[in-house]
Amino acid sequence: MEKQNNYWRKNLIYLKYLLFIWFIVSYGAGILFNDFLNNFHIGGFPLGFWFAQQGSVYAFVIIIFVYVYLMNKLDKSHGYED
Amino acid sequence: MNVQLWTYVIVGITFALYIGIAIWSKVSSTSDFYVAGGGISPWANGMATAADWMSAASFISMAGLISLMGYDGSVYIMGWTGGYVLLALLLAPYLRKFGKYTVPDFIGERYYSKSARIVAVLCALLVSFTYIAGQMRGVGVVFSRFLEVDINTGVIIGMIIVLFYAVMGGMKGITYTQVAQYCVLIFAFMVPAIFISFQMTGNLIPQIGMGSKISDGSGLNILEKLNMISLDLGFNEYTRRSKSLFDILAITLALMVGTAGLPHVIVRFFTVKKVSDARKSAGLALLFIAILYTTAPAVSVFSRINLIETVSNKPYSSMPNWFKNWEKTGLLKFNDKNNDGNIQYLSNQNLNELYVDPDIMVLANPEIADLPPWIIALVAAGGLAAALSTAAGLLLVISSSISHDLIKNIFNPSISDKGELWAARISATLAVVVAGYFGINPPDFVAAVVALAFGLAAASFFPAIILGIFYKKMNKEGAITGMLVGVLLMSFYILKFKFGIFDGGKEAVPLLKEQWWFGISPEGFGAVAMIIHFLVALLVNKFTSDPPKYVQEIVENIRIPVGAPPAKNH
């Protein structure tokens, strides 16, 4: 039971951090701070616009693969590999 | 060879491929029919999920919508991809561990209640039927334009193809045809995008081309140029927001949680072997989706510039062939208000002479850019692949809701596996017929599909599933009330503000805009309905009894990945 609780707690911590990043790249950079970020440029893109139509999507893909990596490691350390 | 011949050849080859796969993957048990026996590899499931998910709306309409909306179109890009993060982190692994066939299975067992299951079935049917009507219509539009058959004939051909592989092969047939359809649709989307990106910016990668200098010698970045010509014609600057900030936030959230709550997407994760595969295939699915979703905004920019430069202030008599072809479909309309023989394409509705339906931006794009005929034919095959793959996924949800959730679990639990399989096939057939009927006689609500289907999924399934996994003490009273309140509220908002039925009909809709709650459009209201569902469910839960011990143990159990039942032995 102890092992199980520990596993679940760690999982929730990962979720908290990853969902925070998920929120920042889309709702933050893509929407709330969009106007401000548009003062900067990445290549020919205004930065806020880039986040809204490109960057957030790349970030989403990375977030999921980081989660896959972290969880596979967590499964292993708790002997939960299926 | 001309375009039409090319189209017949390419569409013919892809259809033969789908039918071949259907024959090869014929199934004989309900487990195979509902979840492909739970034996799909994460890569195949990733591709199948991508095709399942990317509908006619993603392939045909999205880039065009963004090109008309500019920055505001970002809601589709972020909303329809960000939902996969929620799906991968909060739903897919646990639902796979639970290891059943349908979403109502989970709701019914987690909330230990037949009523909960029935409510879930009704939500699933409502969402899926709304969504599928739009897909059949998409099939009809592509057929009528590219193969010059009547829209209705197009819909019927589409019905027959889907019927063939969905009824015969069930989830197994659908999965492998979706893998093939993903390949067709992504190839068909990327090839013209790469060509056009190269033509306009000299850069082969559209995602980079979109941020490069335009190769017309002006030395301007392509987005700067687009901002400039947009302002000249009275439109908003392309890269700036024009909707209210609050509405953009609400729509993005509604689309994200709606994506994560769509039953035809969720069931895809029941088909992999184990929990870790469910996580991995969610990542792969988003990767495959991201290829199209990061290219689409580039296509929007290129086609917007191309369109404006081709038509703006040019004589109508000098318009190229594609212009006349699309006029025939009614998706492009010219009305020479000032009788000068030239096309004025302006933001001001009193002076504007050109109506452009967003759907033609992707479909006509290769013609506008003057690409070779085989590429135009490829786009037709891609649009069909996108519409058919989504339609098939939805059909399966509809048929399993009826045969598994209603017949097997409620009305006739003693039905044999063989009997259930027949029930599944018959309900799939009936569902195709109903979907086809809606494709031929599109009800008014096809235009409201996005708001409705995503709003309902966001308001019904998403909170109920999340609470079911992350809140052990969540009981059936809370869940059922939550789902009902969410769905009724969402339906009320759509009926009131999208159909105006409480205020004298469609004519009232534009005026009702003033009364939107907190300035939130019907498209974004799913976010509000979802939050209210959470609040109501938690409140009711507080005043009613805890769920039984065995249910709490189920929840403990789905939180750890080991020992997921293979779907086969269910």
Contacts of B297 in chain A (CB under 8 A): 53-54
Helices (H), B351-475: 360-368, 373-400, 417-440, 449, 455-470
Q: Would you state the pLDDT for residue B320?
A: 87
* pLDDT tens-digit readout, B442-480: 766 555 676 688 999 999 999 999 999 999 999 999 999
- pLDDT, residue A58, reads 98
**CB pair distance less than 8 Å for A53 and B90:** no
Q: In the predicted model, what is the mean pLDDT of residues B18-23? A: 87
Determine what percent of chain A is predicted with pLDDT higher than 90. 87
- Please judge whether A82 and B275 are an interchain contact, meaning their C-beta atoms are less than 8 angstroms apart: yes
Tokens of B395: 């059909």
Give B566's pLDDT tier (boundaries 50, 70, 90): low
Q: Kindly provide the ipTM of the predicted complex, given to two decimals.
A: 0.96
The DSSP output letter for B564 is P
Residue with tokens 């009826």: B402
Mean pLDDT, residues B343-368 taken together: 86
Average pLDDT over residues B360-388: 87
Q: How confident is the model at residue B570 (pLDDT cuts 50, 70, 90)?
A: very low
Residues B223 and B217: beta-carbon distance below 8 Å: no
| Chain B nearest C-alpha distance from A26 (Å) | 7
pLDDT of residue B357: 84
Q: In this structure, what DSSP letter does residue B40 have?
A: B
The structure tokens listed for B455 are 């709003």
Are B562 and A63 an interchain contact pair (Cβ–Cβ within 8 Å)? no
Residues B568 and B38: beta-carbon distance below 8 Å: yes
Which of B71, B224, B277, B291 to mutate to probe the A interface, most A CBs <10 Å?
Answer: B71
Q: Is B561 close to A15, i.e. CB distance below 8 A? A: no
Per residue in B64-82, pLDDT (tens digit) is 889 999 999 999 999 999 9
Option in B78, B211, B287 nearest A30 (CB): B78
Q: Which of A26, A27, A33, A63 to mutate to test the interface with B (most CBs of B within 10 A)?
A: A26
Say if residue B560's pLDDT is above 50: yes
Among chain A residues, CA nearest to B224: A44
Interface-testing mutation among B62, B65, B72, B74, with chain A (most A C-beta atoms within 10 A): B74
Residues of B in contact with A45 (CB under 8 A): 210-211, 223
The counts of H helices and E strands in chain A are 4, 2
What pLDDT shows up at residue B450?
Answer: 67
Highest mean pLDDT among B250-259, B358-367, B430-439: B250-259
**Which of A17, A53, A58, A77 best probes binding to B when mutated, by most B CB atoms within 10 angstroms?**
A53
Note the pLDDT of residue B567.
Answer: 55
Q: Which is nearest to B33 in space by CA: B402, B437, B288, B388?
A: B402
Task: Give the ranges where B202-274 is alpha helix by DSSP (H).
Answer: 206-209, 222-232, 245-261, 263-266
The span from the CA of B392 to the CA of B379, in Å, is 20
Helix axes B525-542, B455-470, angle to 10 degrees: 40
Contacts with B251 from chain A: Cβ below 8 Å? none
Nearest CA-CA distance, residue A24 and chain B, Å: 12
Confidence of residue B165 (pLDDT cuts 50, 70, 90): confident
pLDDT class of B255 with cuts at 50, 70, 90:
very high
Predicted pLDDT of residue B369: 81
Does B51 score more than 90 pLDDT?
A: yes
The pLDDT, as a whole number, for residue B447 is: 56
Chain A: nearest CA to B112, how far in angstroms?
A: 24
Question: Of how many residues is chain A composed?
Answer: 82
CA distance A39 to chain B (A): 12
Say whether B88 and A75 touch across the interface (CB within 8 A): no
Put simply, whether A33 touches B (Cβ < 8 Å) is no
CB within 8 Å: A75 and B561 = yes
* Chain B CB contacts of A65 below 8 Å: 283
Average pLDDT, chain B: 89
What are the tens digits of pLDDT across the range B489-503?
Answer: 999 998 888 888 888
Closest chain B C-alpha to A66 CA, distance in angstroms: 9
Ranked by mean pLDDT, the top range of B135-144, B526-535, B556-565 is: B526-535
- Closest to A57 (Cβ–Cβ): which among B253, B283, B290? B290
What pLDDT does B85 receive?
A: 97
- With a CB cutoff of 8 Å and minimum separation 6, the contacts of B559 are A4, A7, A8, A11, B94, B97, B469
Task: Say which DSSP state B566 is in.
Answer: P
B10 Cα to chain A: minimum distance (Å): 31
User: What's the rounded mean pLDDT across residues A52-76?
Assistant: 96
Alpha-helix residue ranges (DSSP H) falling in B70-220? 74-86, 92-98, 103-110, 114-146, 151-201, 206-209
Closest Cα partner for A45 from B82, B51, B222?
B222
Q: Where are the domains of chain A?
A: 2-78
More confident residue, B135 or B394: B394
Record: contact B89-A15, CB cut-off 8 A: yes
B504: left (phi > 0), else alpha (psi -120 to 50), else beta? left
Q: What percent of chain B has pLDDT over 90?
A: 49
Whether the pLDDT of residue B137 is over 80: the answer is no
Band of residue B275 on the pLDDT scale cut at 50, 70, 90: very high
| Lowest-confidence pick of B336-340, B469-473, B517-521, B562-566 | B562-566
CA atoms within 13 A on the CB side of B392: 38
Q: What is the mean pLDDT of residues B246-258?
A: 94
Of A32, A44, A64, the CB nearest to B223: A44
The whole model's pTM is what? 0.93
Residue A27 has pLDDT above 80, yes or no: yes
Hey, are the CB atoms on B276 and A26 less than 8 Å from each other?
no
The mean pLDDT of B480-494, rounded to a whole number, is 94
The pair phi, psi for residue B213, each rounded to 5°, is -80, 145
Q: What six digits make up the tokens of B86?
A: 């929620």
Q: Which of B65, B77, B80, B89 to mutate to test the interface with A (most CBs of A within 10 A)?
A: B89
Could you tell me how far CA A10 lies from the centroid of its own chain? Answer: 16
Question: In chain B, which residue's Cα lies nearest the Cα of A16?
Answer: B89
> Nearest CA to CA, how far is B241 from chain A (Å)?
8
Place of tokens 């510039």: B305
Q: What is the DSSP string of B263-306?
A: HHHHGGGGSBSSHHHHHHHHHHHHHHHHHHHHHHHHHHHHHHHH
| Residue B156 pLDDT greater than 70, yes or no | yes
Task: Name residue B202's amino acid.
Answer: G
Contact A56 B208 (CB under 8 A): no
Q: Residue B282 and residue B554: Cα distance in Å, rounded?
A: 23
For chains A and B, count residue pairs whose Cβ atoms are closer than 8 Å.
137
Nearest CB partner across the interface for A64, out of B85, B210, B253: B85
Q: Rounded distance, CA B241 to CA B560, Å?
A: 44
Among all residues of chain B, which has the CA nearest to that of A27?
B249
Is residue B281 scored above 80 in pLDDT?
Answer: yes
Which one, of B481, B485, B472, B494, lies nearest residue B529 by Cα? B485
Q: Which residues contact B343 (CB under 8 A, 6 or more apart)?
A: B311, B312, B313, B314, B315, B316, B319, B334, B353, B354
